[in-house]
Structure 1
Amino acid sequence: MPASAATDHVASYYAASANPAPERPALAGETCCDVCVVGAGFTGISAALHLAEQGRRVVVLEATRVGFGASGRNGGQIVNSYSRDMDVIESRYGADTARALGDMAFEGNRIIRERVAHYGIACDLKEGNLFAACNARQFQALVEHQALWERYGNDRLELLEGRAYRREIGSERYVGALLDHSGGHLHPLNLVLGEAAALESLGGVIHEHTPVTRIEHGEPVRLHTPQGRVVADRVVLAGNAYMTGLLPPLEGRSMPASTQVVATAPLDEASAREILPTDRAVEDGNYLLDYYRLSADRRLIYGGGVNYGGQDPASIEGAIRPKLETTFPQLRGVAIDYAWGGTFLLTMNRLPQFGRLNANVYYAQGYSGHGVTCSHLAGRLIAEVMAGHGERFDAFAGIPHLPFPGGRLLRVPLTRLGAWYYRLRDALGR
């Protein structure tokens, strides 16, 4: 019997406005499949859907609900590329790696649009996102950003100098912006729920409330759960920040982090048109950036900041409201109907971790805040490598990932210290 998709999700706007979804039963007993995917967020469902389209028998195991983690809680922005851009990648890892990743940097947004169109997914997809500069240094970075992305094939960028950005954003906070017409925004939980339904339409099976307690590596792989077991030829580990214990070699090389989001009460049409006249998504250029957009029912969805270690502040509204009202003083005192946090996985170099534990167990995680598009790319690359075409997957897998300084005990305070330095730079406009 259909149940609300909100069941067992955090009390977010997305959960409250989610499309109806079935309650998928926990695994009981033993089942066999070609590929078992652990985690039903964007990475896991994207990989499972690509694999099912290849004709593979796929079983997905999810500890809670489809989209429970960052995939169902994020800002809903379709932002291209990675958390570190191609100039940084080239300087650290060489021109060949930069070219390989650059050729894929704008693919994730196309995959999302293909999925929405092909499977008729209702997720309030809208076009365009903006990068807004808070000072002259950030605007110069946008000028360089445009040139870099155009060099890698994105010809849908528009630089808005001076007050030209005001046609897009009703705020005095900025000095210019870069509009990416190939970006956009959407209801992320409804996207992953729609993709899950598409997977099931192709014969894929999803078991919710089914955490994996132990993995027996070998040929085949045996995955143990509280009430059953999956025997699979191949496995995809796609739990991201919720993968504790199943990827020991990487646990010191990544760190949970949280960001917080609020959704206001619905705005009247005039107020919505005043703050975001063309209904684009926006993120600013600060190191600990703010990001915001309008929902389909004209709520301002506003997020910002990062808490290293994955803990939410005592009051999410208290943390976000000052940011919102600084950007839009005309909304001072606006009612906030929802406030929630979400945990994502951060890597030391801010690039995603793709790889293999052995010949038949693959993983993809650590998008460091750029997961909406890159997770969809990850799903395609996992399907490619399982089909014998591993060149693109291996371009990511070859990137070295170092542990965080200080190990698991000191990585959080040391990272917070680094973030304090960059917050000070943002405040001083440097």
Structure 2
Amino acid sequence: MANTPYPESYYAASANPAPPRPALQDDVETDVCVIGAGYTGLSSALFLLENGFKVTVLEAAKVGFGASGRNGGQIVNSYSRDIDVIERSVGPQQAQLLGNMAFEGGRIIRERVAKYQIQCDLKDGGVFAALTAKQMGHLESQKRLWERFGHSQLELLDQRRIREVVACEEYVGGMLDMSGGHIHPLNLALGEAAAVESLGGVIYEQSPAVRIERGASPVVHTPQGKVRAKFIIVAGNAYLGNLVPELAAKSMPCGTQVIATEPLGDELAHSLLPQDYCVEDCNYLLDYYRLTGDKRLIFGGGVVYGARDPANIEAIIRPKMLKAFPQLKDVKIDYAWTGNFLLTLSRLPQVGRLGDNIYYSQGCSGHGVTYTHLAGKVLAEALRGQAERFDAFADLPHYPFPGGQLLRTPFAAMGAWYYGLRDKLGF
């Protein structure tokens, strides 16, 4: 049977030790079968186990293999489309529920790290950096919006103040969110998997779900075994493939690229980011970066629609890094990798139920670290019969990409080109 290892990345190279987990080779029964051992699946499993469910997790490769173990490692609040956009789409009542949840994911991460003593280099503080006066105006509006929903750990940064937190001459200002922050994402996933197992949950790796037999007692089939369950949670996101055709039609895998420098040393690292905050700019096609625990700079950006892997990731991302930090021109890049996230047309997550017993959450649209942890709690609540928060997400309108699967990639790329041009021209 094929053994799928982690892709080569800084995270895989610096991952905490983890036990080998077997592939499923038997027929088992459980209360809930979770498909996918990324953040959504692990968060769901943890909340369910804490509430007395018997849980089995199937992972096609290894824990955190997908976006959960390859992302920029930034704890960013709210959704890829903010609460004001949601409010215009669905009205104030549903928006209020979603707005109240917009800052919960980061709290869940911190609670998990503390409760289960997860070693993942957790640091507080995230900066949104404005490149233009228009972007700064947007941050001022965003601060008022977030404060309306009770989020108070925010500080607007003028040009002088942002120079104190990031040594980049490009920015005219920004906003600091002290409830944001950053983590080693793969180590967070590995710690959550260990927590699942400490509560009696079972995780099978190298066990892709190849078929779901729907019905009153659904069965998930893998190449060498099967799981009969009362409920199924589908949490494969960009790596789900066509297992559930209804979900594939309304989403598109996209690739993002990340590099990690050689260790910079304390002095140079401190000069770039004196408070060790993470940073993302306010462009539509944004750049993001942070320091690691061993003082490397992780820098990411760019989107490849349709999830193709570029031939030379460093050639795409290094110029972006040097534009922000020309002082790194002689610094070596030790790691370069790509990973897929799942984009929806609305850029809002898709949550729902198929029949009476198959639940799903997908389509974080690049905003997944915090949302996925919230999603796990919301899915677990729904399985316990508390569906109000689940329904707030499930009632969001979603549509297939125009042109179907054949044309969704070029249409999305055209849209990205348009917004990228707006970024460059300062519109």
2:283 alignment partner, one of 281, 286, 297: 286
Please give the secondary structure, in 2, of the residue aligned with 1:103.
Answer: helix
Percent of residue pairs bearing the same amino acid type? 62
Aligned-residue offset at 1:251 = 1.4
Matched, 1:334 2:320: no
Aligned counterpart, 2:61:
64
Aligned counterpart, 1:366:
363
- CA offsets 1:199-257 (integer angstroms, 9 cap, x no match): 00000000000011111111211111111111101100000011122221121210000
Partner amino acid for 1:214? Answer: R
Aligned counterpart, 1:309:
306
1:150 alignment partner, one of 147, 152, 155: 147
Aligned counterpart, 1:187:
184
How many Å separate the matches in 1 of 2:215 and 2:273? 54
Aligned counterpart, 2:133:
136
Please give the secondary structure, in 2, of the residue aligned with 1:253.
Answer: coil
Aligned counterpart, 1:3:
none
Residue ranges of structure 2 left out of the alignment (5+ in a row): none
Matched, 1:414 2:411: yes
Please list, as runs of the form range in 1=range in 2, the aligned pairs for 1:160-239 lying within 5 A after superposition.
160-239=157-236
Matched, 1:10 2:7: yes
Partner amino acid for 1:374? Answer: Y
Please give the secondary structure, in 2, of the residue aligned with 1:267.
Answer: coil
Matched, 1:403 2:406: no
Partner amino acid for 2:203? Answer: I
- CA offsets 1:104-159 (integer angstroms, 9 cap, x no match): 00000000000000000000000000000011111111111111111111100000
TM-score for both structures, normalised by structure 2: 0.98
- CA offsets 1:351-388 (integer angstroms, 9 cap, x no match): 00000011111000100011000000000011101111
How many Å separate the matches in 2 of 1:225 and 1:17? 30
How many Å separate the matches in 1 of 2:4 and 2:330? 30
Partner amino acid for 2:305? Answer: Y
Aligned-residue offset at 1:269 = 1.2
Aligned counterpart, 2:25:
28
Question: Are the aligned partners of 2:4 and 2:61 in contact in 1 as well (CA < 8 Å)?
Answer: no
Aligned-residue offset at 1:299 = 0.2
How many Å separate the matches in 1 of 2:270 and 2:384? 48
Aligned counterpart, 1:296:
293
How many Å separate the matches in 2 of 1:132 and 1:247? 39
Partner amino acid for 1:225? Answer: T
Aligned counterpart, 2:388:
391
Aligned counterpart, 1:323:
320
How many Å separate the matches in 1 of 2:345 and 2:377? 24
Residue ranges of structure 1 left out of the alignment (5+ in a row): 1-5
Aligned counterpart, 1:77:
74
TM-score for both structures, normalised by structure 1: 0.98
Question: Are the aligned partners of 2:46 and 2:196 in contact in 1 as well (CA < 8 Å)?
Answer: yes
How many Å separate the matches in 1 of 2:201 and 2:4? 22
How many Å separate the matches in 1 of 2:406 and 2:104? 37
Deviates more, 1:238-247 or 1:271-280: 238-247
What is the alpha-carbon root mean square deviation over aligned residues? 1.0
How many Å separate the matches in 1 of 2:49 and 2:93? 32
Question: Are the aligned partners of 2:80 and 2:366 in contact in 1 as well (CA < 8 Å)?
Answer: yes
Aligned counterpart, 1:110:
107
Please give the secondary structure, in 2, of the residue aligned with 1:348.
Answer: coil
Please give the secondary structure, in 2, of the residue aligned with 1:34.
Answer: strand
Please give the secondary structure, in 2, of the residue aligned with 1:23.
Answer: coil
Please give the secondary structure, in 2, of the residue aligned with 1:37.
Answer: strand
Please give the secondary structure, in 2, of the residue aligned with 1:21.
Answer: coil
Question: Are the aligned partners of 2:39 and 2:64 in contact in 1 as well (CA < 8 Å)?
Answer: yes
Aligned counterpart, 2:47:
50
Aligned counterpart, 2:354:
357
- CA offsets 1:35-75 (integer angstroms, 9 cap, x no match): 00000000001000110111111000000000000000000
1:266 alignment partner, one of 263, 272, 295: 263
Q: Which runs of 4+ in 1 moved over 6 A?
A: none
Please give the secondary structure, in 1, of the residue aligned with 2:392.
Answer: helix
Equivalenced residues, count: 425
Aligned-residue offset at 1:7 = 7.8
- CA offsets 1:18-49 (integer angstroms, 9 cap, x no match): 00001100001100000000000000010001
How many Å separate the matches in 1 of 2:335 and 2:181? 22
How many Å separate the matches in 1 of 2:397 and 2:246? 13
